[in-house]
Amino acid sequence: MPEGDTVWRAARRMDAALAGAPLLRTEFRVPRLATTDLSGQRITSVAARGKHLLTRFDGGLTLHTHFRMEGSWHLYQPGARWSGGPDWQIRAVLMTAERSAVGYRLAVVELLSSAREPDVVGHLGPDVLGPDWDLEDAVGRLRARPALLVGAALLDQRNLAGLGNIWRTEACFLAGVSPWTPVGDVLDLPGLVRRAQAMIEAGAHGGHQVTTGSTRPGEEHWVYGRAGRPCRRCASRILVADQGRAPGQIDDESRRTTWCPRCQAGPKASREAFAGHGRTGAGASVRSARRRQRFGDTAP
> Which among 197, 183, 68, 190 is positioned nearest to 132, based on CA atoms?
197
Burial environment of residue 125 by CB neighbours within 10 A (0 to 12, 13 to 18, 19 or more): buried
267 is an active site residue: no
51 is an active site residue: yes
Q: Which of 9, 12, 29, 255 is catalytic?
A: 255
Q: Which of 2, 126, 179, 261 is catalytic?
A: 2
190 is an active site residue: no
Q: Which of 49, 51, 229, 232 is catalytic?
A: 51
Sign of CA dihedral 209, 211, 214, 216: negative
255 is an active site residue: yes
Active site residues: 2-3, 51, 255
